[in-house]
Amino acid sequence: MQDPKTTAANSSDALAELRATLGADVVSLPAEFDGRQFADWSGTPSTTPLALIRPRTTEEVATALRICHRHNQPVVTQGGMTGHAGGACVLGGEVALSVERMSGVLEIDPVSATLTVLAGTPLQVVQEAAEQAGFMFALDLGARGSCTIGGNIATNAGGNRVIRYGMMRDQLLDVEAVLADGSVIGGRRKMIKNNTGYDLRNLLAGSEGTLAVITSAVLRLRAKPTAVSTAWCAMPNYDAVTALLGRAQACLPAGVSAFEVMWPSYCDFIRERLPELRVPLGSEHAYYVLLETCGADPERQSAAFEDFLADMLDDGVIADAALAQSEADAAAFWAIRDAPAEYPRLIPGRVSFDISFAVAQAGEAARRCDERLRARWPRATILVYGHLGDGNLHVVVQEPGWRDDAIDAVKEVVYEVTGELGGSVSAEHGIGEEKLKVLGLSRSPAELAAMKAIKLALDPRNILNPGKVIAM
């Protein structure tokens, strides 16, 4: 397997050719974009790029990459800048390529249930366009107003509905992208089944800008649920949590659309710091589950949901439950789960983790993290919660006045547990720059070598987002 070309970039030539070929409107220099932010939500340090490229078309992206490829000029692609792993940060020496001008829904095909969209389109715009056409676009996450479809694909975004509809990769029918040498792959195919060789679409999903620049995509639309049933359940122990998950998946006619688990410390934190959210039920239970099912036929679904909860109470699976009687009730339950949006104000300087395990192991993982963190930092705020139906835990740790080295020590503890239990160091946020050091806990040396070989095959000069995802 070949080594990356280590020829130094000839940046001044690259910049001159980019500007001469694409024009000053597309390629601007630092003095011209003074004050623009190039950091994402991860806190990863980000510097100023050598130039900012804002193409309007796939052809302009291809032209830009051809020039950068020829001059070994590194490129970092940027979308909504809402990432949690530093994947879109500027490490130094790159030009930034923003897809912000490639925005808009190109077509909705209601018969095929597809939506064709440019990469720079915000997720929320896609959700609203799908809604207006009588469908649902299934991906949903907190950053919906800012994050872009291209970024959602590049990071294989997860979010609230994975348990029912899968990750971003599961919403893709085709992805158009420009490879490092400027060649354009993919396009506008709408087939659900297409076994014609290697699955480039799934290779690009989650590659975080290191294999190609994503320019457009054909997305799958789903039938819009017309009935949503929601309950807040208090659970006696972890076995009951997994039992509820299994029985809900088996017994609820429309399956499970959300299964969010909160540990008591999380609920106590909300009670204390955000009392206006009124956490339901008592604080004496071992776990709390926000359970949701969504389908059609509101009357039959409500009846089935109530029957199911009654059975779970009778069988002792659930200790207590609050059933949402209205959309407002359901929104109030979700507000508790969505409280992390308030973290920047409530627990500044926190360390956050996005780890996953087999569902059977997630409870033990949380227990070990909590125990070891608490032993070392007894006064810290330690919050555990997550999309447990997918085995995905979020762990958040903070202590006012922490020294910088505490953050690294906290990471060591949590990632040690992740490695011990064969978990993933990134369930849904990706690797970016931030998790590069711990990737080896979740991937074997042979897998890292295979990834590196693929990277070099598609980007032999390592110009696409170097320093992210895979160490070259």
Among positions 118-137, residues that touch a copy of itself (CB under 8 A) are 134
Kindly identify the residues of this chain, within the stretch 213-272, that bind a copy of itself according to CB under 8 A: 222-224, 226-227, 242, 246, 249-255
State in angstroms the smallest separation of the CB of 25 from a copy of itself: 27
The verdict on 112 binding a copy of itself (CB under 8 A) reads yes
The verdict on 190 binding a copy of itself (CB under 8 A) reads yes
State in angstroms the smallest separation of the CB of 242 from a copy of itself: 5
Which residues, in sequence order, are CB contacts of 233 under 8 Å at separation 6+?
244, 288, 289, 290, 291, 309, 312, 318, 320, 321
With contacts defined by CB under 8 A, name the span among 145-153, 281-289, 294-302, 328-336 that binds a copy of itself: 294-302
For the record, the structure tokens of 411 come out as 């990471």
User: How many other C-beta atoms lie within 10 A of the C-beta of residue 233?
Assistant: 28
- Closest CB to a copy of itself among residues 253, 282: 253
The verdict on 304 binding a copy of itself (CB under 8 A) reads yes
Closest by CA to 64, choosing from 185, 218, 212, is: 212
- Closest CB to a copy of itself among residues 99, 179: 179
Count of residues near a copy of itself by CB under 8 A: 103
Residue in this structure with the two tokens 């040498």, named with its chain if needed: 181
Kindly identify the residues of this chain, within the stretch 332-391, that bind a copy of itself according to CB under 8 A: 356-361, 387, 390-391
State in angstroms the smallest separation of the CB of 195 from a copy of itself: 5
Rg, C-alpha atoms of the chain? 23
The verdict on 104 binding a copy of itself (CB under 8 A) reads no
State in angstroms the smallest separation of the CB of 66 from a copy of itself: 13
Residue in this structure with the two tokens 């597809």, named with its chain if needed: 114
The verdict on 206 binding a copy of itself (CB under 8 A) reads yes
For the record, the structure tokens of 287 come out as 């776990």
Sign for the CA dihedral angle at 152, 157, 161, 165 comes to: positive
The verdict on 200 binding a copy of itself (CB under 8 A) reads yes
Closest by CA to 43, choosing from 98, 94, 90, 86, is: 86
Closest by CA to 84, choosing from 159, 160, 162, is: 159
Kindly identify the residues of this chain, within the stretch 142-181, that bind a copy of itself according to CB under 8 A: 155-156, 158, 162, 166-167, 169-170, 179
Mapped onto helix, strand or coil, the DSSP state of residue 395 is strand
User: How many other C-beta atoms lie within 10 A of the C-beta of residue 450?
Assistant: 13
> What residue type is 342 in one-letter code?
E
The verdict on 297 binding a copy of itself (CB under 8 A) reads yes
